[in-house]
Chain A
Amino acid sequence: MEQLEIKGRIVWQDLESGFWGIIDEDGRQWRPNSLPAAFQRDGAEVRVKAERSEEGFSMFMWGSPITILDIQ
């Protein structure tokens, strides 16, 4: 599966039941299906290695779902 390298900023989205997302430098929205607690801080700058998630549909309707492989 294609591996993604994302450099961006963590954002909290108070939509639906609420979730964490990443907006990269190009303004693209990414929605990790699980974000480590240490990085759950709005505005935190991160570098992420990720894979696109199989799950394509959700109640969030925001961003592309990803599975994080590594995050700094």
Chain B
Amino acid sequence: MAALYTYSYVGILLSTLLWFFLNAREQSTTPIKMLFWSSLGVYSISMFFGDGSSLYKMLIILPRDIAIYVLIALLANKFAARLGSFAVLALALGSVMTFYYFDVLLGTFGSESSELSPDAELIVDLKKDSDPASVEAALEEYRCELIPAFPRLQAARYASFTDNYIINVPDEYADDIDDIIDLLQSDANVDWVERNEIIQLDPDEDEGSEEYEAADYGVNDPDVGKLWGFGRMKMAEFYQTLARLRPRKQARIAILDTGVDAEHPDLKRNYVSSDRNSDRDVVGHGTHCAGIAAAVSNNRIGIASFAPKQGWVEVTSIKVLDDRGTGTDQGIIAGIIRAADEDADIISLSLGGRSDDEKHRAFGEAVEYANDKGAIVVAAAGNSSANARHFAPAGTKGVIAVAAVDNELNRAAFSNSVADLDFGIAAPGVDIYSTYPGDAYKLMSGTSMSAPYVAGLLGIMKALRPALNTADAYKLLQTSGLETDDGEATGRFIQPAALLQKLQ
């Protein structure tokens, strides 16, 4: 259809030029008129049946084509009587058409020769309550299978997408895609079907994904570029400032979670064992959090953390969640007390649950105990898009609660609000790359990822100023933090470099 449209439009322009030219010389224009009207007819048909919405055609394509046509008609009328000028006009028009505008016209309705996704050539939307098996049966001769297009939708409001399926057309039937589309379009179960074209970004336009090299931060960990938070937290500046400082102690960060893979090569040198049961992690959640808080930096593998070298922080694990990632308030409270008894400086809790006054009181006593022993308690705000005040331990008095933001520093859709809490702060919590059991790394999202960022930073603060208490530490986090659009709900976004300036 794009070719038909292009040639018919060129036909209109060409016949108009010739019409004016012959008319000025009082020669017969009948064949040219026929060319003009037939081109116009084909143009109208191609416009009507071409891909794209009517609105797009009426507001964009048609005005564009008419404007160009009027311009050329005016020029042709003006220069029709002068052969030289008219020849220059025709030559210029021909050159523009050949070298530039022809491609623009061909691309008006999209290219039909676009490359299709090799494993999902077609997308089909079935009518509500239709059985995909019956559609598959209709495609039996092509051995096509319908696969849910969006099996793991995050947002319930997009549930209608569950009627969308992708179709993987076997290679031997690649030439039959048009026939398959015809079959699907005639199937009563099908709402619509479309080609699943591969859309490639122009490399010059791909400026949104800011990839940093490890060298940009002054560390040699190769995957640091995958940590978008490092750019937002101005980590290069942070490391530069930290290089001029010396720790007064090695701060201990306790990760109370599903355990930690003690043998992970990006954790091992910073890890101290609390008990053997806590040195393993079936779920992977605790290992991910430990990497965010205290991955070994400058070891030429994986990621980095706030501590650029050894001597600043160490990380330990107390397993308070079972191998399904769940636990009890008693178990977590016992873990907080144990961590404090084992000289933790920072207790990081990437966990929580709905709470009431009684639970807050029980957690509050444990937090107070930990504070008295010199520890600062950090907790994830929670993932229910609700008020963190109704969650423990995030909403418990004396806890620094951490909300999650995305790489635009907007509140993550899932993140609880910390607006009603005394000590609310924000940190990266969407698409966070960190350590995972089995010498691996993984992306995860959640306020669980935000809390260990703050825990890691507090570890550096405690290493520099061992007597720092929760209130003073929070004041530093808050006053150095960055105000953001969603700051009322998330608290300020941590700014480690600015914080160091205040801490010195």
Instruction: Report which B residues bind A (CB closer than 8 A).
Output: 148, 150-156, 158-162, 257-258, 283-285, 321, 324-329, 331-332, 350-354, 359, 380, 382-384, 391-392, 414, 416, 444-448
A residues 12-57 near B (Cβ < 8 Å) are: 12-18, 23, 29, 33, 41-44, 54-57
| B-side contacts of A11, CB under 8 Å | 153-156, 159
Compute how far the CA of A1 lies from the CA of B198 in the bound complex, rounded to whole angstroms: 53
Give Cα A55–Cα B352 distance, bound, in whole angstroms: 11
Chain A residues with CB under 8 Å of B152's CB are 12, 14, 18, 42
**Do B447 and A43 touch across chains, with their CB atoms under 8 A apart?**
no
Pairs of residues from A and B, 6 with the lowest C-beta to C-beta distance, nearest first: A43-B159, A43-B162, A57-B353, A12-B152, A61-B382, A55-B326
State the CA gap A33–B154 with chains docked (Å). 18
A33 with B324, Cβ < 8 A, contacts A42-B153, A59-B350 known: yes
Contact residues in B for A59 (Cβ distance below 8 Å): 257-258, 283, 285, 321, 325-326, 350-351, 446, 448
Question: Hey, which chain B residues are within 8 Å of A43, CB to CB?
Answer: 153, 156, 158-162
How many pairs, one residue from A and one from B, have CB atoms within 8 Å of each other in the complex?
116
A64-B325 CB under 8 A given contacts A17-B283, A59-B448: no
A58 at the interface (CB under 8 A from B): yes
CB distance from B106 to the nearest CB of A (A): 39
Interface residues on A, range: 20 to 34
CA distance A16 to B450 in the complex (A): 11
CA distance A61 to B365 in the complex (A): 21
Whether A61 contacts B159 in the complex (CB less than 8 A), given A17-B285, A33-B324, A55-B327, comes out as no
Q: Which residues of A contact B (CB under 8 A)?
A: 9, 11-18, 23, 29, 33, 41-44, 54-65
Give A57 Cβ to nearest chain B Cβ, in Å: 4
Docked-complex contact B353 and A16, CB < 8 angstroms: no
- Which residues of the partner chain A approach B154 to less than 8 Å between Cβ atoms? 11-14
A29–B328 Cα distance when bound, in Å, is 19
CB distance from B150 to the nearest CB of A (A): 7
| 12 residue pairs from A and B, CB less than 8 Å apart | A13-B414, A15-B383, A17-B283, A23-B156, A41-B162, A43-B156, A57-B328, A59-B258, A59-B325, A61-B382, A61-B446, A64-B354
* Cβ-closest chain A residue relative to B381: A61
Q: Max chain A CB contacts within 10 Å: which of B321, B326, B331? A: B326
B28 to chain A, nearest CB (A): 67
